[in-house]
């Protein structure tokens, strides 16, 4: 190849490279502009998901009219060996964890535990949160509850 040809190829390659960079730059800049718009759109979608979450909670019928009632329902179901039902009285996130714990529990330990949660407890509430406290000789035992939008109480933590 002649030197002149080589030079043209080299210059062409440089121009092609520069052109590609310019194209990519413009393209990415365009994406970033879209990204700003996307932030706004995504926020609207996120709001929709939050509303959906609310609707799902609204339709959850496993709960009690009071924290005491839901712990009573949990207790009754667990005593009867209906662990699936017992776990449903928990908030959604904790249901599979509780179900697994109940299914794998030693009978004696579970029975002792269920006797404990059936004990009278002191109740403390703040709006949609309540805690039942069972007094023990050492540190107390705290059971936490949350009220869903349908006014039913669910177990957050035992």
Chain residues binding other proteins by CB under 8 A are 21-22, 24-25, 28-29, 32-33, 35-36, 38-39, 42-43, 45-50, 53-54, 56-57, 68, 72, 91-94, 97, 100-101, 104-106, 109-110, 112-113, 120-126, 129-131, 133, 136-142, 144, 146, 148-149, 154, 156-158
Question: Where do runs of H (alpha helix) occur along the chain?
Answer: 3-58, 67-79, 83-88, 95-104, 107-117
In whole angstroms, how close is the CB of 8 to other proteins at the nearest point? 25
Q: How far is the CB of 4 from other proteins (least distance, A)?
A: 31
Whose tokens are 């406290």? That residue is: 133
CB of 1 to other proteins, least distance (A): 30
Query: How far, in Å, CA of 9 to CA of 109, rounded?
Result: 82
Distance of CA 4 to the CA centre of its chain: 67
Residue 81 dihedral angles phi and psi, to the nearest 5°:
80, 10
């Amino acid at each position: 190849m002649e030197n002149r040809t080589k030079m043209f190829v080299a210059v062409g390659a440089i121009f092609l490279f520069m052109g590609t960079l310019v194209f990519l730059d413009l393209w990415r800049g365009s994406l970033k502009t879209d990204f700003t718009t996307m932030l706004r759109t995504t926020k609207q979608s996120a709001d929709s998901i939050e509303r959906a979450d609310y609707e799902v909670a609204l339709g959850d019928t496993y709960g009690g009219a009071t924290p005491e009632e839901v712990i009573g329902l949990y207790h009754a179901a667990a005593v009867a060996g209906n662990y699936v039902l017992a776990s449903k009285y928990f908030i959604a996130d904790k249901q599979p964890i509780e179900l697994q714990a109940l299914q794998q529990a030693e009978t004696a330990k579970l029975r002792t535990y269920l006797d404990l949660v059936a004990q009278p407890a002191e109740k403390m509430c703040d709006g949609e949160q309540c805690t039942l406290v069972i007094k023990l000789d050492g540190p107390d035992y705290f059971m936490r509850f949350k009220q869903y939008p349908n006014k039913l109480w669910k177990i957050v933590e035992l």
